[in-house]
């Protein structure tokens, strides 16, 4: 397999979110997160092979964000680079994405959940939005420790097992081929309702970013008032014309379904990519009579799709 960085994915995210620099992942984080037990010197050698815009960009920023309750039933834990959402239902918890590595479960996801008053043993489902290792890294750990069921599309289950899949490198010097994969999965199908307790999440197959990316419409409440939140399953653009055409077709369909559902908020498991960090800061200062800063309205959702996601892929298609 050919070794690749996350360059195609991250360049788009890096440019759209701004080229901010950050303090490098600490040596302790590197060794704790490295699955092969490499030394700091060996990890740094692997990282030195990556372009600086990646290693110094937000996609590799492993600063841990404060665990935050976003809505009555939705929480966030994770890094600046990537994180997980937790959906609380009457029959347990649904985790959306599983970050980079098994160590992220031990060092970030589980402690963050406990800080929020959530019991990791209540995780019933782990929904993987797409088959890049920064989204499924801790899935096997959670499957084995808590008997959580792993939900992913068949296309991306096949993708993460394919010998032809690109080999990506993470901030801890792991190659994606070194990340342990879940033992089994439940297939997410197009239009499926992922049901747990009183919560039903709409899942759509939105190929493009990966062959089987999954995007979600999540029902939430804020101070008891119902809202619908969109989660686009893969922001960065793929490398081929065919995949970008699929991305655009998927985006158009997802926007249509989300608008029918009255989506009035938008979140991403890459918190730096769409204002989530600043919105969480605003949540900390929110007064009882103030609106939730994440709920920006349907017009704002459509504007984001048009001026960012659709524009980026349209511009990319014009280069072929």
Sheet with 92-96: list strands edge to edge.
64-71, 74-79, 83-89, 92-96, 123-127, 149-152, 186-187
Question: Using one digit for the tens of pLDDT, what is the confidence trace for 132-178?
Answer: 999 999 999 999 999 999 999 999 999 999 999 999 999 999 999 99
CA 158 distance to own-chain centroid: 19
Confidence band of 18 (pLDDT split at 50, 70, 90): very low
Pairing label, strands 199-205, 214-222: antiparallel
Whole-structure pTM value: 0.93
Q: CB 178: neighbour CB atoms within 10 A? A: 16
Gap between the Cα atoms of 278 and 293, Å rounded: 9
Query: What residues contact residue 199 under an 8 Å CB cut-off, 6+ apart?
Result: 73, 87, 89, 90, 94, 219
Q: How far apart are CA 202 and CA 216, in angstroms?
A: 6
Q: Positive or negative CA dihedral for 308, 309, 315, 319?
A: positive
Q: Express each pLDDT in 68-88 by its tens digit.
A: 999 999 999 999 999 999 999
Candidates 156, 98, 149, 95; CA nearest to 131 is 156
Residue 263's contacts (CB-CB under 8 Å, 6 or more residues apart) are 217, 228, 229, 230, 298, 301
CB 160 within 8 A of CB 135: no
Domains of the chain: 7-317 (3.60.15.10)
pLDDT digits over 85-144, tens only?
999 999 999 999 999 999 999 999 999 999 999 999 999 999 999 999 999 999 999 999
- At CA 68, angle to CA 61 and CA 223, rounded to 5? 145
């Amino acid at each position: 397999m050919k070794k690749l960085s996350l360059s195609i994915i991250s360049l788009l995210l890096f440019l759209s979110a701004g080229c901010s620099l950050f303090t490098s992942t600490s040596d302790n984080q590197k060794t704790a997160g490295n699955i092969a037990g490499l030394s700091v010197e060996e990890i740094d050698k692997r990282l030195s092979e990556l372009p600086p815009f990646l290693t110094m960009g937000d996609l590799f920023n492993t600063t841990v964000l404060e665990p935050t309750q976003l809505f009555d039933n939705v929480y966030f834990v994770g890094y600046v680079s990537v994180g997980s959402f937790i959906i609380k239902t009457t029959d347990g918890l649904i985790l959306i994405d599983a970050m980079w590595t098994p160590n992220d479960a031990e060092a970030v996801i589980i402690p963050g959940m406990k800080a929020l008053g959530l019991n990791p043993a209540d995780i019933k489902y782990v929904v993987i939005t797409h088959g890049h290792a920064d989204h499924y890294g801790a899935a096997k750990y959670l499957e084995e420790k808590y008997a959580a069921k792993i939900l992913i599309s068949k296309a991306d289950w096949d993708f993460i097992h394919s010998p032809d899949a690109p080999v990506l490198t993470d901030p801890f010097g792991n190659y994606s081929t070194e990340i342990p994969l879940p033992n089994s999965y439940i297939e997410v199908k197009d239009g499926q309702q992922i049901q747990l307790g009183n919560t039903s999440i709409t899942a759509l197959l939105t190929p493009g970013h990966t062959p089987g990316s999954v995007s979600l419409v999540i029902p939430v409440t804020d101070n008891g008032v119902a809202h619908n939140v969109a989660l686009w399953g893969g922001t960065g653009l793929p490398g081929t014309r065919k995949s970008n055409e699929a991305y655009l077709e998927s985006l158009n369909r997802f926007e249509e379904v989300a608008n029918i559902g009255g989506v009035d908020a938008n979140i991403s498991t890459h918190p730096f990519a769409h204002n989530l960090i600043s919105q969480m800061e605003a949540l900390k200062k929110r007064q009882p009579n103030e609106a939730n800063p994440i709920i920006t309205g349907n017009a704002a959702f459509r504007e984001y799709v048009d001026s960012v996601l659709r524009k980026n892929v349209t511009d990319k298609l014009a280069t072929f």
